[in-house]
């Protein structure tokens, strides 16, 4: 084994082979550094991929609907005063806007607690239609913000409607979930995902913003902060 070069005080000294224990400590230290670097790099890569996936799903949802997004200032876009462009409230809120005139597919679903409901049940109101499942972690993450939105605007012409796509709509899963999150907005059950299929849901959560009268204003695929200032600005612009 070749001797190793030791840098002493002001001079280099040749020493014999290092003890085995010292070499093992160095190897272990280097392995930890490599593992830490690899974990950090992998975490960054995963975050980038999640962001890219959310954007891709949103675009895919818009393409499946056949409804091109609209930016501020384009035909039918948001203008103020004498044609002055203002910030696109849809873009700021993270919602892909649909052109006006697109009706949402009809459905009739059982309502948690009894009875049934259709989209026309809330005709004349802004409907925030959220497709979710109990096993969906991003769905759970955004639920408190949907509840906060519902409580703040339910007397102002807005309703949040949750549609569970849990297979078979098991009450043993859905009821504790709703109670634990203290959800009070209407919950509909889509046990065979027929409504989700009709609405071309491509990922969970998927939330459609429906104008009073039934036209779909936009969609958000992935979790959002539904009680944020940007989201409130969007929804208030649609209130009757």
pLDDT digits (tens, 9 = 90+) for 31-88: 566 555 545 544 544 555 544 455 455 545 554 555 444 433 343 344 433 332 334 8
pTM equals 0.69
Nearest to 189 by CA among 160, 159, 162, 164: 164
Q: Are 133 and 174 in contact (CB under 8 A)?
A: no
Nearest to 160 by CA among 173, 178, 148, 172: 148
Structural domains in the chain, CATH included, are 57-238 (3.40.30.10)
- Residue environment code for 144-156, b if the CB has 16+ CB neighbours within 10 A, otherwise e: ebbbebbeebeee
Read off the pLDDT of each residue in 181-195 and give the average, rounded to a whole number: 98
**Dist CA 198 CA 184 (whole Å):** 26
Distance from CA of residue 114 to its chain's centroid? Answer: 29
pLDDT band at 130 (very low <50, low <70, confident <90, very high): very high
């Amino acid at each position: 084994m070749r001797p190793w070069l030791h840098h002493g005080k002001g001079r280099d000294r040749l020493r014999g082979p290092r003890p085995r224990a010292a070499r093992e400590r160095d190897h272990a230290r280097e392995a930890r550094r490599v593992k830490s670097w690899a974990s950090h790099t992998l975490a960054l890569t995963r975050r980038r991929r999640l962001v890219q996936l959310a954007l891709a799903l949103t675009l895919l949802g818009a393409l499946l609907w056949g409804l091109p997004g609209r930016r501020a200032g384009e035909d039918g876009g948001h203008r103020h005063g004498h044609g002055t462009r203002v910030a696109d409230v849809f873009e700021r809120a993270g919602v892909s806007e649909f052109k006006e005139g697109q009706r949402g597919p009809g459905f009739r679903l059982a309502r948690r607690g009894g009875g049934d409901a259709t989209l026309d049940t809330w005709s004349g109101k802004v409907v925030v239609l959220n497709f979710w499942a109990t096993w969906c972690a991003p769905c759970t993450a955004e639920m408190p913000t949907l509840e906060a939105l519902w409580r703040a605007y339910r007397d102002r012409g807005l309703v949040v409607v949750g549609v569970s796509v849990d297979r078979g709509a098991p009450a043993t899963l859905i009821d504790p979930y709703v109670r634990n999150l203290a959800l009070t907005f209407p919950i509909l059950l889509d046990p065979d995902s027929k409504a989700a299929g009709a609405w071309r849901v491509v990922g969970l959560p998927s939330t459609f913003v429906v104008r009073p009268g039934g036209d779909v204003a936009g969609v958000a695929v992935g979790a959002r902060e539904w009680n944020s200032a940007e989201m409130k600005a969007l929804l208030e612009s649609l209130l009757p």
